Amino acid sequence: MNDFMATGLSTLCNRLNKTLEWLNVKATTICQKDGKIDFVTPNTHAIGLKAIGSSAYLTEFNTTDSACRFHDYTNKEWTAFKDLFGENMQTIGKAFNLIVH
């Protein structure tokens, strides 16, 4: 992989994490336990993004829950990702997430 490709993927991964951070804040819930109120914000964070073809990416996340949440976000909040991956973006949820555009 040339340096330009690595820099582009790093930038794309950073932009993906900014989008995920915004969606995590949006998904914050309020929980009450033993009379205490806590705000719970999910932590969905991509730790790797690899190009595996001309229009496909393999994503790696910090936890399995994070990967599942990402797949859920792409189904419910797909418009948040269209600037990153295009209008025709699809995710294929397996033991990993595959983004195809």
Alpha-carbon span 4 to 9, nearest angstrom: 9
Token pair in block for residue 11: 């930038």
Looking at residue 26, its amino acid is: K
The pLDDT score that the predictor gives to residue 92 is 78
The pLDDT score that the predictor gives to residue 100 is 58
Could you tell me the CA-to-CA distances from 62 to 2, 27, 46, 55 in Å, in that order?
25, 18, 6, 23
Residues 8, 12, 17, 19: is their CA dihedral positive or negative? positive
Could you tell me the CA-to-CA distances from 41 to 6, 22, 26, 29, 61 in Å, in that order?
30, 11, 8, 7, 16
The pLDDT score that the predictor gives to residue 40 is 92
Token pair in block for residue 61: 């996340």
Ranges of the chain whose pLDDT falls below 70: 1-6, 94-101
Q: What is the pTM for the complete model shown?
A: 0.82
Angle subtended at Cα 66 by Cα 93 and Cα 25, rounded to the nearest 5 degrees: 120
